[in-house]
Structure formats: structure tokens, C-alpha cells
Structure 1
Amino acid sequence: MRILITTQKVDKDDDVLGFFHNWIIKLAPHFSEVHVIALSVGKHDLPKNVHVYSLGKRRGDSGYLKTLRYIVRFYKYLFMLSGKYDAVFSHMNPEYIILAGWYWRLSDKKVFLWYNHKKGGLRLRFASLFSHKIFYTSPSAFTSRYKKSEKMPVGVDTELCKDIEVKREKNSLLSLGRISPVKNVEVIIEALSLLNKEGISFTSYIYGDPTDKDLSYYKEVLQGSENLTEEGALTFNKGVPYEKTPRIYSAYEIFINATPSGSFDKTILEAINCGMIPVICNEAFGKDFPKELLFTEGDSKDLKNKLEKLFNKNAEEKKELQKYLREHILKEHSLDDLILLLSDEIRS
């Protein structure tokens, strides 16, 4: 069977979307041909049966004229690839299905959409009309309401994301990922400020970059954390290539994620597999997630209290907590499990 994949970016060095490069590698053996159309293409090293086509987007590109060019290129590739694929898998971008769903339906192609955000909207509703099946990971995702939807594993690359033996800094905090309003980085900053005001000893590190549209938010975050950075309690770092994240996860003790319920942020599971203890507000992880590690969404004081209690645990208590997380939260979310289910669904 042959497949067409549409996605936002193919770039193994991208700090946010680099993981999808490994998805393509894992999917390739399940199909005779894999064609990938991406809005942007960077560094990649893929199997011989994978062919990648770029719509030409570069950072900073904007405007209706450039969007029109992307659309024209997309239709050019569709014409060029006519008859060379049997099914379509669109990852997180319903726009592709809006543009070509009618054509794929008329051409008798099965259409599969992966969409895992809490918010939907007209574009998602329209894309769902042309989709045969929709995949999601979070029970709070907008797409979970559809009868044609199916819950899937998150897809943690356990071969890549594993504990590396480096010295782990005690009472060290890490936040890693795109810096944007939906990530509620300001809540994390406020909690760190409360800890610092009480004289509690810790170090914290934020790794990530904003998109062009979130630059003003990023500046606000930097301004709001000036006291922390000046006192050496907080360090900002640029986003790093996906393949280098395991070494970062392995160097720190506690992972903070303030993303609200609705998405199943895989960085949390990656951090767990690299030996970290996460403190989160996302209830999508279910009843098995320890309440002592779950803070109230948007409540920086509650986050501060959860972190302080975690600081007070001894090494053995932290080790037992991390072991529980690996055994009860991480299970059934490996990339291999996801690819097997995904490929079976597409080929069925």
C-alpha cells in the first residue's frame, strides 16, 4: 500500500516538530511508497521509499500572496502524485483536507486526520466531513466527540528518549517546549518568583523559542522574569534539536508543564522516560496520575506549593515516585505501539 502524508514540517533538528521525522522513519516499512508534503522542509534522513516535497515556507514568511503560492504548489504536487498513493494521513493540519478532501473522496482515497487540540472551529469541522477516521490522544481533545474518532497512544520514542547517565542537579526545574500563551509560561515564572521570595533554594531552566506571532508574549515573559535571571535562579536557553533533548531531560530533576487539559503533551512522557518527575496541570493523564504532582490550572501559588513539597522529599522517595510514573503512566504510549496501530488502521 502507498500513502501520502501531509504535515507542517519535516526537519529532524526542529525543537518542536523534530519528533515527526522519527514517525516517518517508523511508518516507512509498513508501506511500499511514502510521499510527504510539508509546508516547510529542513534537515532529514529518511528511508529510500520516502519522498519529501516542500511547499517552500521559511521562518518569517507571511502574507496572502505567499499563502497563495503554497496552495498553488500543493495542488501542483497533488497533480504530480496522482495515482501514486492509496490513502492520506494528515498530521495536525486540517487545512490540507479542506483544500483537497473533496478530491480525495472523489478519487476513492481513504483520508485520516491526526488532531489533538482542545479547540476545534469551523476548519476542523469542515475537514472532519472528508475524513474517514480521526486520531487523538487526549480525552479532552475536541475531536474525541466524533464517532469516527479513535484514541491512540502518544508515541514516545523510548529508544531515543531515555535516561542518560549525567549528573542530575538536585532541586533543579526544567520547562522545555515552544514558548507561547497556550503553554502558560507566565504561570511557571510566577511560581518560581514565589519560591525565590521565600528564600527556597532551586535552579530553573527554560528551553524553547517563540514563533513569530508570539514574539511579544516572549518579551513579556522575559520582562516578568528579570529578577529571577539576575539572581541566577532562572536561565533561558534557545530551543534544541529534538534528538538532543534526552541529555537535557537527564540533567534536571523536576519537569514543569503548565499546558492546560485538552492536549496530551508528549514532552511530559518523554521527561518521565528520561528519569524526571513532572509537575503538571493537565488532567488528561487520568486518575492514575499522582495528585501531589497535579496543580490547579493557572494557579501559580498551587504550583509553588507542589514544587516545595517535592523539594522536601528525600532521594529514595523521589526514586519511588519516578518508578511509579514509569510503570503506570508511561505504559502503552511508546512510538512502536502507536505506529503499529496507526499503520493497521490506515491499511485496513
Structure 2
Amino acid sequence: MDVENDNSYTAKTNLLIFNYATDEKDQVFAHQIEVVRQLSIKFRKVYVITASRGFGSLPSNVTCIESKWVQGKHFSNSTRLIKNFLGVVLRDKNIVVFSHMTEVQSALVSPLTKFLRMKHIVWYAHASRSLAMNLNKFMLNSIVTSTVGSCPYTGNKVKILGQAIDEKRFKFTIHKIGSPYNFVHIGRTDPSKDINKLMRFVEDVNSMGYESTFTIVGRPSNPKFNFYIEDLYNLRKGFKEPLRVVFREPMERNSVPDFLESFSIFIHAFIGSLDKTLVEATLCGIPVLSINHEYRSIFGCWSNTANSSLEDEFLALIGLSPEELALELKRRRKIAEEQHSLSGWIEKILTILTN
């Protein structure tokens, strides 16, 4: 089924988007196709140069070009991307460029966008610096990011937008907390996610006498991290007491809200930028236990202690009365709606793109 716009175009320029996947079934980048759809409402013509084109319909005013970006193929990737870029801008110079999570692709074309005096904006939400961004930042008009701590760069070019989550898809329910505690983590199973720390935490909870299960949803973002899954399997085998850990393959993003309904607590140990899954769990009304500084700075801690451990957070959480828990979950949902909604994100990025 095609997606149709209402022809209420307000932008004076056309739009070129670089992204990794225009595919609503992608494990990591499924949200990028929705961003394309939402932005296309305001631009008469939208071009998308994507590394991968998969499932999902696009509006009739969107032209999608698959660059077939392949990990490790630096020369062929670069030449194909620049060829695709030139193919667009040589026939349509009235363009503003938005690089959505694609700082490497952005760095390849930014000398050209600078020379052609095209506005060029990059979404960058990583706590660490990258070589591409270090080289690229001087040629960009703006760097947009989710939170203050999700971007290592500062200055007038940096704009804070929040995360882009369609809150209407996440039904809010006050989840009852009690034994057995069904913990869940959704996301990439990369070493940086410290899932081994989460498994040890669940083992500690069990050893304290609280019956628990742990479901891990996801796969490594890169084959070079496949060893980490084996490490997690071996870790489970090494526990003294049986630990019920279930490993599941990634699911479509549209399935996440319903899937989360069967769990009581979302756990998370990544130190870095604000992960979308934390906000999604919060929108569902699931208590989040995380040591992520960005999440804590926005939503708070259960123990009201800045550097508390996951164990401290868990004990503080289960010590709340049902009324106290409900009030806190509602407060966090409101923050998520106000600061991380898709509609708010689109409004902010449109202002930057069109002004």
C-alpha cells in the first residue's frame, strides 16, 4: 500500500536524506523509514540515499536510491555514494542535506555540500568522538543529537532534539512487580552493552531470594561480535545456581510494545548515549533499572542516589508501595512524551532544516 501525502508542502527547498536502512523490519534502524515518511509531508521532493532498502512503503514524492553500502569495502562504498550524491545534486541544486546517523557518509560529501553552499545537518548521538565527525564538524551547519550527554561536541552548531519515538504505539500500563521478577533487555548484543553485567545482577537477585528470569532480545550488530554471544552462554553455564536466561532473536519494531507487556522490569547497563529502548520501556510503564547517566539525568533514580548500583536500584524499586510506583511511572511517561516524541522531534528538525 502506497503512502500518500496531503500536499501541504511548506519547505522552499527539497530534501536529501542519507540513512543506513529504509526498512521497517531492520533490527536497529527501523525508525529511519518513519522519519523519511514524516519529513516528506513538508518537502515537495525527497531523495533518500540508503545503505539498504527493505520492507515498507514510501510516499510518492520520495525517490529512494540504494547505495549498497558494504562493511569494510571502503573504496567501492565511497565511490558509489559520491556517484549517487552527484546524480541527485546535478539535477536538483535546491536541496538541504540531512545525514541521519551516517557520519561517515556525511564526511564523504561534506566538502561538496560546503562548496555547493548546501545546508548540511548530521544526527550524531554517541558519547564518544569519531574520526569522521572530527573531520566533518567544521563543514556542517548543525549537529543534532538526543541529549546533552549523547554528543561529545559542543557549541552553537549542536542542537538537542530528544529521541524520535511514536508514543502512540506504546500503551501505558502500570506493571505489577512481584516474584517471579521477569527481567528483559532489548537491543544489540554487543560487548559495549555489558549484558554479562546484567546476567550477574540477575544472579545476585536470585541469590537474595527473589525468584527471577531474564530474557535477552537481540543479536550482535557486527559479525565480529559473535564471540560475545558465546561468552554469555558460557557465563550462564558457570553460575552456581540455575539461572533462567532466554536468548531471543530480534523482532520487528512494531512488535516491541506488545512483547514488553509480559515483563515486569527492563534492565540496562550501557554507559554512553541514551538508548531508544529505555524510553520505549518507560512509555509502556515498565520500570527501568539502568546505570546509564543520560537516562538517570532525565528520568531519575529509584534510590535517589546518583551512583547507585543496579542492586540498590532494584531494592529501592521493590520497596515502593503500589501507589508510589504508579505515580513515579506516570511521571516518567509524561517526561518521555514531552521530550522524546516523534512529533516533537520532527517539528524541531524541520525548524533547523528549513530556517
**What TM-score, normalized by structure 2, do the two folds share?**
0.87
Asked if 2 retains the 8 angstrom alpha-carbon contact of 1:116 and 1:137, the reply is yes
Sort the Cα spacing of 1:91 and 1:111 in 2 relative to 1 into closer, same or farther, 3 A.
same
Equivalence for 1:182: 192
Q: Does 1:310 align with 2:317?
A: yes
**1 CA distance for matches of 2:143 and 2:26?**
25
**Deviations 1:165-186, CA, capped at 9 Å, x for gaps:** 9999862211111111221111
1:207-246 equivalence runs, <5 A:
207-210=217-220, 211-226=222-237, 231=242, 233-246=244-257
- Give, in angstroms, the shift of residue 225 of structure 1: 2.0
Equivalence for 1:67: 74
Q: Does 1:275 align with 2:275?
A: no
- Give, in angstroms, the shift of residue 107 of structure 1: 1.3
**2 CA distance for matches of 1:118 and 1:165?**
32
Asked if 2 retains the 8 angstrom alpha-carbon contact of 1:115 and 1:143, the reply is no
**2 CA distance for matches of 1:161 and 1:38?**
27
Q: Does 1:98 align with 2:107?
A: yes
**2 CA distance for matches of 1:295 and 1:39?**
43
* SS in structure 1 of the partner of residue 97 of structure 2: strand
**2 CA distance for matches of 1:76 and 1:121?**
24
**2 CA distance for matches of 1:202 and 1:17?**
31
Equivalence for 2:38: 26
Match of 1:55 among 64, 67, 72: 67
Asked if 2 retains the 8 angstrom alpha-carbon contact of 1:168 and 1:251, the reply is no
Match of 1:347 among 335, 345, 354: 354
Asked if 1 retains the 8 angstrom alpha-carbon contact of 2:194 and 2:270, the reply is yes
**Deviations 1:221-279, CA, capped at 9 Å, x for gaps:** 2211236799462211111111111112222121112111x412121111111121111
- Give, in angstroms, the shift of residue 340 of structure 1: 0.8
**Deviations 1:37-91, CA, capped at 9 Å, x for gaps:** 112222121111112111224xxx544xx33222222122122212325110001
- Give, in angstroms, the shift of residue 317 of structure 1: 3.4
**1 CA distance for matches of 2:140 and 2:76?**
25
Asked if 1 retains the 8 angstrom alpha-carbon contact of 2:177 and 2:318, the reply is no
> Could you tell me which amino acid in structure 1 is paired with residue 279 of structure 2?
L
Q: Does 1:113 align with 2:122?
A: yes
- Give, in angstroms, the shift of residue 110 of structure 1: 0.4
Q: Does 1:324 align with 2:336?
A: no
Sort the Cα spacing of 1:243 and 1:114 in 2 relative to 1 into closer, same or farther, 3 A.
same
Sort the Cα spacing of 1:229 and 1:219 in 2 relative to 1 into closer, same or farther, 3 A.
farther
Unaligned runs of 5+ in 2: 1-12
Equivalence for 1:15: 27
Sort the Cα spacing of 1:287 and 1:220 in 2 relative to 1 into closer, same or farther, 3 A.
closer
**Deviations 1:130-154, CA, capped at 9 Å, x for gaps:** 1111101221233441321111121
Sort the Cα spacing of 1:191 and 1:294 in 2 relative to 1 into closer, same or farther, 3 A.
farther
1:144-223 equivalence runs, <5 A:
144-163=153-172, 171-210=181-220, 211-223=222-234
Fraction of identical pairs, as percent? 22
**2 CA distance for matches of 1:168 and 1:279?**
13
**2 CA distance for matches of 1:310 and 1:338?**
31
Equivalence for 1:2: 14
> Could you tell me which amino acid in structure 2 is paired with residue 125 of structure 1?
N
**2 CA distance for matches of 1:196 and 1:317?**
25
Asked if 2 retains the 8 angstrom alpha-carbon contact of 1:278 and 1:293, the reply is no
**2 CA distance for matches of 1:229 and 1:30?**
58
Asked if 2 retains the 8 angstrom alpha-carbon contact of 1:206 and 1:237, the reply is yes
Sort the Cα spacing of 1:47 and 1:219 in 2 relative to 1 into closer, same or farther, 3 A.
same
Equivalence for 2:274: 264
Larger RCO (CA within 8 A; separation ≥ 6): 1
> Could you tell me which amino acid in structure 2 is paired with residue 77 of structure 1?
N
* SS in structure 2 of the partner of residue 68 of structure 1: helix
- Give, in angstroms, the shift of residue 159 of structure 1: 2.1
**2 CA distance for matches of 1:89 and 1:78?**
12
Unaligned runs of 5+ in 1: none
> Could you tell me which amino acid in structure 2 is paired with residue 114 of structure 1?
W
Equivalence for 1:249: 260
Asked if 1 retains the 8 angstrom alpha-carbon contact of 2:147 and 2:162, the reply is no
Tell which deviates more after alignment, 161-170 or 315-324.
161-170
- Give, in angstroms, the shift of residue 310 of structure 1: 2.4
**Deviations 1:98-135, CA, capped at 9 Å, x for gaps:** 21111111112100011011111332111111111110
Asked if 2 retains the 8 angstrom alpha-carbon contact of 1:279 and 1:293, the reply is no
> Could you tell me which amino acid in structure 2 is paired with residue 16 of structure 1?
V
Sort the Cα spacing of 1:246 and 1:238 in 2 relative to 1 into closer, same or farther, 3 A.
same
- Give, in angstroms, the shift of residue 31 of structure 1: 0.8
Equivalence for 2:145: 136
